Structure 1
Amino acid sequence: MHPEPLQYAPAEARDQRVFDAVRELLATQGMHLSMDAVAAHVGCSKQTLYSRYGSKRELLSLAMRQHVSIAAAPLASGDERPLRGILLDFALRYLENRNQPRSRQAAQLIASGAQEFREEARALYHSSADALREQLAEWMRTEMARGRVIHDDPHFMAEMLISMIAGQDFERQRFHAPHRDDPKVRRRWAEFAVDAFLRAFPAPPAGIPGTR
């Protein structure tokens, strides 16, 4: 059964097919990914892609931002669960995604082509790693206002937490050294990182100005 032609697919499904194609091609072509390759992958013309997404850089940014929104799904506003459960869900999703073979391959290829494609690489960073940090910082700002996290710099806190979750495992992978390739081992590390973070930034004592 052939997939539905892109121009006749519902808008959301159409975008999803294109974004999935972008991520798959980044894992095989890195920054050399072309609009021609994306068009061939989803079965449409290059002109259709330019008409809908504007440019290769815009398409890359949109695909990455959509991916980040999925990664940040555990940070739903108004979630009344304990912070540990929310942050542990976030950490495990982050580690699971980063440990997917396609994600690892894409990261390696993007890094190797960043010098040649500086503007595209910078756009990818802003729409992926930087966008995730921004979403986490916004969530932390909300939790501060709710009195569930001590007041501090939310952007520094977000970067610190992501760094704690990542640890040195991706460096081990980059150098083909033994790493946390078992979900149980990753969960143990995620719990350690989240618990350490919450000890560093606990809920403020009642009665402190600026808290509930």
Structure 2
Amino acid sequence: MDAPVHLAKVRTVTDRLTHNLRSDALDNRERILDAARALFATEGLHVPMREIARRAGVGPATLYRRFPTKEALATEAFKDQMRACEVIVEEGLADPDPWRGFCLVIERICELHARDRGFTAAFMSTFPHALDFAASRASTLNAAAELARRAKAAGRLRRDFVLDDLILVIMAHTGIHAATPAGRVAASRRFAALAIEAFRASPDASPLPPAGRLSPVPPIPFTT
């Protein structure tokens, strides 16, 4: 076999192995994060790292190689949670029907929190200085405010709506409790539907009382 041909075959095999290794490493990372989010939501942040590794189907060494500490793992899981919130608002803003986009944001943010089951609050309480997400929060707030402006201009969102009303809905939503995860999600969807009806513009809608300025609550993605 000519040397150049042999070398080309070696490179092909090496590239394929490298790609497979990278894919496996990426798969391991996603499995670990999926398992961590599920266990953090149901068991809290005290869940052992070994249990997370077992649920993810990886060895403890693989887990610690990717995430040396529980704080590192929880922080990465929380970043994904933040990004999910950002994506929901971006999708709402991208909808050509601003009222439909506004409703989507309420429904999906509520469902995100229903499935979160306290992870965000636990993370912020346990690791209060792990992340500085002011820029991300401000960007999400601005996008939500723009979506509300468009929905008002379309005549679908009541004129006296203010952004703090949306924050208030999310804060109230954290009080939902249910016997099962499915029951919590079902209650969340009903809550979101009631909130949407309260925000819908209609000729006979009674004026809202004056809006109160809300204090910052770190676990809520929309707060200041």
Taking structure 1 as the reference length, the TM-score comes to: 0.57
Counterpart in the other structure of 1:181: 187
Relative distance call for 1:13 and 1:85 in structure 2 (3 A) is farther
1:58 counterpart (51, 72, 83): 72
For 1:133 and 1:27, the matched residues in 2 are separated by: 22
Kept in 2, the 8 Å contact 1:61–1:123? The answer is no
| Number of equivalences | 167
Counterpart in the other structure of 2:55: 41
Relative distance call for 1:29 and 1:172 in structure 2 (3 A) is closer
Kept in 1, the 8 Å contact 2:37–2:77? The answer is yes
For 1:11 and 1:171, the matched residues in 2 are separated by: 38
For 1:11 and 1:83, the matched residues in 2 are separated by: 40
For 1:137 and 1:94, the matched residues in 2 are separated by: 13
Point out the more displaced range, 70-79 or 48-57: 70-79
Counterpart in the other structure of 2:107: 92
For 2:39 and 2:45, the matched residues in 1 are separated by: 9
Larger Rg: 2
**For structure 2, which runs of at least 5 residues remain unmatched after alignment?**
1-20, 153-161, 179-183, 211-224
Kept in 1, the 8 Å contact 2:78–2:120? The answer is no
Kept in 2, the 8 Å contact 1:165–1:193? The answer is no
Query: How large is the RMSD of aligned CA atoms in angstroms?
Result: 4.2
For 1:72 and 1:41, the matched residues in 2 are separated by: 28
2:141 counterpart (132, 137, 146): 137
Kept in 2, the 8 Å contact 1:60–1:124? The answer is no
For 1:131 and 1:19, the matched residues in 2 are separated by: 24
1:139-169, CA deviations, whole angstroms, 9 ceiling, x for partnerless residues? 258x49xx9599xxxxxx76x2542332534
Relative distance call for 1:68 and 1:182 in structure 2 (3 A) is closer
Taking structure 2 as the reference length, the TM-score comes to: 0.54
